[in-house]
Amino acid sequence: MAAHRLMLGLAGLMGAAGVALAAASAHGADATRLASASAMLLFHATAILATGALLARGLLHGGIGLVAAFGFVIGAALFAGDLALRQYAGHSLFPYAAPTGGTVMIASWLTVTLAALVAKS
């Protein structure tokens, strides 16, 4: 249960950060990176909440579903963090951080698929 609460808490933080980045994007000059970062955080915060609900209903395999949810957190944080850092500091988090985050998010969606397929009926 602690992992589930952590996952849901992180989704809340991601949602808040996504709204803040959307506001910064709307009011900043040349802030398209922030709009992309905001979208990834907001979409994946919602995906985490949905994954949590599906886990609670037993529609996803527990362990695999948690891996997917935490993959959403890690992937979105890498992607959005890299774009925000580029916007505000002028440099990246580390080389290929955003593409790595994107790859982790794609893998997490595939992991949700696996969690659905192997869940107990």
Kindly report, residue by residue over 69-121, the tens digit of the pLDDT. Answer: 999 999 999 999 999 999 999 999 999 999 999 999 999 999 999 999 999 86
Kindly report, residue by residue over 24-76, the tens digit of the pLDDT. Answer: 999 987 888 999 999 999 999 999 999 999 999 999 999 999 999 999 999 99
Consecutive H or E run containing 48: helix 32-56
Query: Which pLDDT does position 105 carry in this prediction?
Result: 98
Consecutive H or E run containing 14: helix 2-27
Asked if 65 and 49 count as a contact pair (C-beta separation under 8 A), the reply is no
Query: Which pLDDT does position 121 carry in this prediction?
Result: 67
How many Å apart are CA 75 and CA 78, to the nearest integer? 5
Structural domain span for residue 107: 2-118
- As for how many domains the chain has, the answer is 1
Assign 21 a pLDDT band (cuts: 50, 70, 90). very high
The reported pTM is 0.94
Assign 1 a pLDDT band (cuts: 50, 70, 90). confident
